[in-house]
Structure 1
Amino acid sequence: MEKDKALVLATERYGSAESWKYVSEDGVMERRRNLREGESTGNSFFGVFKSIFLPQGYPESVSKDYLQYQFWDTVQAFCSSLSGTLATQASLKGVGVGNQDATVAAATITWLLKDGAGMLGRIIFAWHKGSKLDSEAKTWRLVADVLNDVAMFMMILAPHFPACFTTIICIAGIFLSIVGVAGGATRAALTCHQAHRDNMADISAKDGSQETLVNLAALLISLVLIPFVTDNPQFTLSLFFLFTIFHLFANYKAVRSVVMETFSEARLSIVMQQYLTHGQILSPREANQREPVFLEFRKAVPIKLGVRLDKVVQSSEELNLALKNNNMPFLIGVRNGCICVCLRPDASVCDEIRAMCQAVCLSNMMSPPTSRESAAQQQSQPHFQGHWEMVHESHTVMDRLFNPFIKGVEASGWDMRRTLLDWDEWRVEWKAKSN
């Protein structure tokens, strides 16, 4: 009871996990820990575990979806590591380990061809799809894991087709190289989303520690499995399919648990479509739940952002048409069934969002009515003579709707400081419309 009456000089806390107080008693300052109700002092093990495997300041320093994502990511990493053991064992057998007739040179050449094919695949994939990995991080995260399982399956089957072994291994190497690029890049994008205190390096380092611990556990289990799967292809395939099912399920749950507050093309299209149809603003969680993650997001009318000027207009008359009713730093036009958006260098993030919203609105006007639309709804839709009339009408619609829309998305928790819209790098300065 005497200690409770001591004078409290100061209090301090370490994140939300621990709090301490400094008390003065008989002229001596003493530091004491504040215990929550039902809490004991024997939590040192959990504290050490948390400091080793979780980012500093957890949970305040990371996004709210961090723990759920990391749980499923850990499960998928564990299953993938076990599948990798089966694939490696089959590959070593295929190159001649344990076969007295096999030569070191032949095995080395096969392995070099596999690695060489993988290097070429890595370069080509990064060139062709590198710009998509930020805006479609969830989709490519899943694609990478599917390709990883396909590659491992090919490596397990390869020894049973000795005449095509090198070809199969090289194709598997290409798939694994794509997995390396897509998996690493999308992990970086998700880490950027999780880092709420500019602590990407810490989150990435702790993610590496978590993965290392999981791989160590998988290694120990693999040591037990190897004697059972050696020279037993049926059991090997059975285990592989079991691990693959858990691996893909855990990956799907992991990307579904991510709630990104920044607009990608898919998420902004979903939110804008809902607003145009029902006047409702979806929250980040609601939009992320509707976002397609397994199949590539496709629209009825393709939208191309940041194109060259000649993709929008091809004459001075068309330029005047594009500028009609338009005082925004972007031009929108329709070319070959695609909606093309041309951006000026001084366009802000808000301008980019408005351009994408207008493109979605224009896409709605161009899309044929669905079978679920009633006859009255179809009759109420305006009929246009040409695509420039639709463009002009879309300007009018945006002038009326965009300000309420942007206030609604900000109030719903969307991050308006940046976007993940897939803009190309073309920027154009155009002259004002001649009178």
Structure 2
Amino acid sequence: MEKKEPDKEEASQRPVFWIETIDNVSQYCQFKSERTLNTKVVFDSRPAIHRVAESFLNKFFPSGYPYSVNEGYLRYSQFRTLQHFTSAALSVLSTQSLLFAAGLRPTPAQATAVSWVLKDGMQHVGKLICSNLGARMDSEPKSWRILADVLYDLGTGLEVLSPLCPQLFLEMAGLGNFAKGMAVVAARATRLPIYSSFAKEGNLSDLFAKGEAISTVANVFGIGAGIYLASTICSSIQGKMVVGPLLSVIHVYSVAEEMRAAPINTLNPQRTAMIVADFVKAGHISSPADLRYREDLLFPGRIIEDAGSVKVGRPLHEVVKPSKLQQLRDIFPKEKFLINRGSKWTDMVLDHNATGEDALRGWLVAAYAKTMEKSANGPSDRVLEEAYDKMESLFPALLSELKVKGWHTDRFLDGTGNRFAWQ
């Protein structure tokens, strides 16, 4: 039997409907005709606690969370809250101690207000000095972010201890604010690359705004806790010497966990070496999320043997002797890197216009050369040539997979600024 086709006119008259949701209110929408739209408000029937939780997410998390951010953002936000809470509490205690050392007997509320005046002076000197280290912060934002909080706690510690030596009030307060000035610059300079690592949909401004909201709330509660502690347990210097270090430990631990959760996707020496080591050993290409907990945040400049023991950033005149320079240029005539193998490590120097792709190519050559050298009997120059040929055959597949994994290969952040250019 022939199948009966549905009447076109009947199909065109079928109702077209959809549901539009804004915050906690849903609207049921339906076309009655080409010019008529009926809407019906449907209230959220979920329990009140669910609605409160969703409202919280809308205020303190980016739109579309969790699909609009990269992995690790929730853990980062949790420890960021704890970090700002402890930092604000420490600030109140340190300011109260400074005023005691100056011969005043302030209330906790006065300590909070005067803190804005005491952070000037030597703090500006610290800011100027730290501003010259911006390139290194681009290369290792996680390590510098942790160092910033260590410097902040060091400055706070000096302020807390100032009542023990009131005759050195100016020196203690000056050094404390100097350390805090460096901490402020380092923390602000590393904020953008950290947030960028979570911006999955180009929503950097939304991430920044919601991060500031979390910080503000945590600071308010931290100041409140600091005022309470200053009025009770920490009203004496002995109490501050007990509570201060405890808050400082929690503060530094929180920022370390924040940084470990951030999946930074730019290439620097450590991350490039880890990518190459995984690829050479197992043919596996790691994503930024795979490497985040393996990064060494205390000693980021360590040499990774499985990646060819490469050290990058030394000046060209210290790496290559004039008699060997032309020989290396002949081995890599079209490349924007030079490799010189030594007894302890392999030096790599990059051209001024070298990108992350160029650094990866050089790193792969060094890693393959180190592997081949263990079984080869020929001269090292021949090993470099064979390693270069192998890199050329495998590099396109590696580069394609790296981009799929989310790595940015258009730049290489070595942090030293030591590059070369042929005249």
Matched to 1:211, the amino acid is S
Per mean C-alpha deviation after superposition, the further-off stretch among 207-216 and 70-79 is 207-216
SS of match in other structure, 1:289: coil
Alignment of 1:284-323 (within 5 A): 284-299=288-303, 303-305=311-313, 310=317, 315=322, 318-323=325-330
The Cα of 1:90 is off from its aligned counterpart by 0.6
Which residue among 248, 251, 254 is the counterpart of 2:255?
Answer: 251
The Cα of 1:227 is off from its aligned counterpart by 1.7
CA contact under 8 A between 1:309 and 1:428: conserved in structure 2? Answer: no
Deviations 1:111-139 (A, max 9, x none): 88x74332222212221x21111221111
Aligned to 1:402: 395
Aligned to 1:372: none
Alignment of 1:42-191 (within 5 A): 45-98=52-105, 115-127=120-132, 129-191=133-195
Q: Does 1:221 align with 2:225?
A: yes
Matched to 1:414, the amino acid is G
Which residue among 401, 406, 411 is the counterpart of 1:414?
Answer: 406
CA contact under 8 A between 2:264 and 2:292: conserved in structure 1? Answer: yes
SS of match in other structure, 1:290: coil
CA contact under 8 A between 1:144 and 1:183: conserved in structure 2? Answer: yes
The Cα of 1:157 is off from its aligned counterpart by 1.1
Alignment of 1:262-411 (within 5 A): 262-299=266-303, 303-305=311-313, 310=317, 315=322, 318-324=325-331, 326-333=333-340, 339-343=347-351, 345=353, 347-359=354-366, 364=370, 380-382=374-376, 388=381, 391-411=384-404
Matched to 1:161, the amino acid is C
TM-score between both structures, scaled by the size of structure 2: 0.79
The Cα of 1:78 is off from its aligned counterpart by 0.6
Matched to 2:38, the amino acid is M
SS of match in other structure, 2:266: coil
The Cα of 1:262 is off from its aligned counterpart by 3.1
How many Å separate the matches in 2 of 1:403 and 1:204? 35
Distance 1:125 1:219, change over 3 A: closer
TM-score between both structures, scaled by the size of structure 1: 0.77
How many Å separate the matches in 1 of 2:127 and 2:81? 25
SS of match in other structure, 2:291: helix
Q: How many pairs were matched up?
A: 393
Distance 1:427 1:10, change over 3 A: farther
CA contact under 8 A between 1:135 and 1:264: conserved in structure 2? Answer: yes
Distance 1:384 1:148, change over 3 A: farther
Matched to 2:421, the amino acid is V
Deviations 1:321-367 (A, max 9, x none): 3222543233333689761323264x5542333234435556x57xx
Identity of aligned residues (%): 23
How many Å separate the matches in 2 of 1:308 and 1:297? 16
SS of match in other structure, 1:295: coil
Deviations 1:29-51 (A, max 9, x none): 0144596xx83577554444333
Distance 1:74 1:33, change over 3 A: same
How many Å separate the matches in 1 of 2:224 and 2:332? 68
Matched to 2:124, the amino acid is M
CA contact under 8 A between 2:159 and 2:172: conserved in structure 1? Answer: yes
How many Å separate the matches in 2 of 1:75 and 1:131? 29
Matched to 1:58, the amino acid is Y
How many Å separate the matches in 2 of 1:60 and 1:225? 40
How many Å separate the matches in 1 of 2:278 and 2:156? 41
CA contact under 8 A between 1:147 and 1:176: conserved in structure 2? Answer: yes
CA contact under 8 A between 2:148 and 2:183: conserved in structure 1? Answer: yes
The Cα of 1:77 is off from its aligned counterpart by 1.0
How many Å separate the matches in 1 of 2:162 and 2:377? 59
Aligned to 2:38: 29
Per mean C-alpha deviation after superposition, the further-off stretch among 275-284 and 22-31 is 22-31
The Cα of 1:310 is off from its aligned counterpart by 4.6
How many Å separate the matches in 2 of 1:94 and 1:348? 53
The Cα of 1:278 is off from its aligned counterpart by 3.5
How many Å separate the matches in 2 of 1:34 and 1:203? 29
Aligned to 2:11: none
Deviations 1:129-163 (A, max 9, x none): 21111221111111111222222112111220233
Unmatched 5+ stretches in structure 2 = 1-13, 107-113
Instruction: Give RMSD over aligned pairs.
Output: 3.6
CA contact under 8 A between 1:145 and 1:248: conserved in structure 2? Answer: yes
Per mean C-alpha deviation after superposition, the further-off stretch among 166-175 and 351-360 is 351-360
